[in-house]
Structures are given as structure tokens and as C-alpha cells.
Amino acid sequence: MNVPYFLKDGDKVAIVATAKRLESDISNGVKALEDWGLEVSVGEHVHNQFGYFAGTDEERIHDLQRALDDSSVKAIIFARGGYGTTRILDGLDFSNYLNQPKWLVGFSDLTSILLKSAVIEVPCIHGPVGVTIGKDGKSDLALRDLLFGHGNSVLPLVESTYTNSGRCQGKIVGGNLYMICESLGASNEIDTTGNILFLEEVGEAKYSVDRLMTKLKRSGKLDYLSGVIIGSFSSISDEKSYFEESVEEMLLSYFSHLDIPLVFGLEAGHEKRNYPLIIGMNCELEVSEKTLSITYIK
């Protein structure tokens, strides 16, 4: 496992756009990063627009490849999610990234590249992006602490009767449920065996959530978990009330037979508060009704 160096004052970080075009300002995010003592470099094509995307596939590859290859860049913060990273993922060369690893930070559509990084054993961070950094102080502080290596994480949980307290070890893997399922059979396919599965989602219908979970079950990805973390499931619809159970109850049905820690109520995903998690790094979890304590192990 190649763990990136933690940041220090004066380090350079890059903001790149690999998915949907920017439709909101990133200046708050840039200022927040600069206030942390970092030098911020914004990719050449970040503000480009090519239909739905932040520039052509070639332009988006160019910016990310340049940041991956630049030894002076110590972390890459993705500008936003949406859709588009999978279009360019297999056109990237990760050789220099493997030799000189750096932190990748993103969520949503960026789950695809976080999964890829985990596959090649470079830990990365599921957390706020350029357009969301600077909008929630607690999320920002938690991200800064992770990037600068200031200890481990004790994250509050929204109290839930579905949380199953306990301890476990493994790597946190996952992110956006749809993107996890999209990875199956591809170069960034998620490895859940002995690991802690983290899930979040936004804007799906309940039947779609159930279908995606069934896909993971049928693929054997739920068989040998050491723990589960359920983040934010936002704007999940069921307009005709076909499903009597809540989305939490639906998710629980896929894990309740497992005698492992289950975390419900972590504010991580598509809400204003988006607590960061290190993906692909060995850790120990201690789960209680109100807190999730994570000790990361290099």
C-alpha cells in the first residue's frame, strides 16, 4: 500500500474537473484551501464547457494527467461530480501516481476514480469537492485534519435504531451506490472481501436502490464484509408509495443477517455536511449509538 504524504503549510494542491461542467463558483473552495496555508492551482480547462461536460474528454484527461504527473502537486481536489469521470478513467496513466502518490479528494461521480485508486492500493479521500468546500465548517475542519494528518476521526452519528455497535477492522471501500455497481466487471471493480463497505446515494427511486443492492448481493459483494457504513441517502423517491419500508429499512434487510458493526446516520454524501473518509487504508472502527471512531493504520 502506497500512502500519500500528509500535507504541510505551503504545499501545492490542484483543482481539476473530470465530470459535469461547473455551474457554480469554486472561489469559496479556493479561498478555504488557501486559508489552510495551501497553494492552489486551478486546472487549465476547469471552466470549459462541452455540452454537459467540463470540456472534451481529451481536455479533462489533460488536466488530471498533468496533476497526477506533477511531483509538486501533493493533493488533487476534484471540482465537482455529476457524470463523466468513467468516460476518461481508462485513458489515464497512473504510473507516476503510483511512484509518487498524492491525495485524491472527491465524492459522487468521483467514486469511480476513488475505487480505481483503492484497486491500485493508493488510499484516497471520499469528501467535499471544489464547489462544496467552504460551505460547511465541520466538514471542512474534518477534511483539513485528514489531509494534514492531525489524528484520527471521531464522527457524530444521527441516532438510529438500526446501528449495530461493535468493533471491526479492514479498509473502508465504496462511495456512491450507483457508481459502485457501475464498477463491476471494469478495471476499478470494488473489492469488499474483509473490508468495510461505505454507501451513499442521491436522487434515485426506492426500487432503483433495491435493484442496485440486489446487484451487489448477486455479485457476492455483500458476502464477506467486516463492517458497513451507511451515509446520506438523499432525495430518494417513491411517488406511488409502493414500498412500505423506509430506505434505511430496505438497506438494513441486506445486512441484518450479518454479525458485524452497522453504522447508520453518518452525514457523508450529497448533503451540505459531508464528513470525509479515507478510502482504501487499513483502519479500526469502533461504533456506538452516537459516534463512529476511526483509527487509520498506515
Residues identified as active-site: 108, 200, 270
- Residue 173 grid coordinates: 471501500
Furthest C-alpha separation in the chain? 54
How far, CA to CA in Å, does 154 sit from each of 48, 89, 151?
39, 33, 10
Reference 62, options 78, 41, 46; nearest CA is 46
Under 8 Å CB-to-CB from 268, ≥6 apart: which residues? Answer: 107, 126, 127, 198, 200, 229, 231, 232, 274, 275, 276, 277
The whole-angstrom separation of Cα 146 and Cα 176 is: 20
Under 8 Å CB-to-CB from 80, ≥6 apart: which residues? Answer: 17, 19, 20, 22, 24, 54, 129, 130, 131
109: which DSSP letter? G
Under 8 Å CB-to-CB from 160, ≥6 apart: which residues? Answer: 248, 264, 265
Rounded to 5 degrees, what are φ and ψ at 114?
Answer: -65, -40
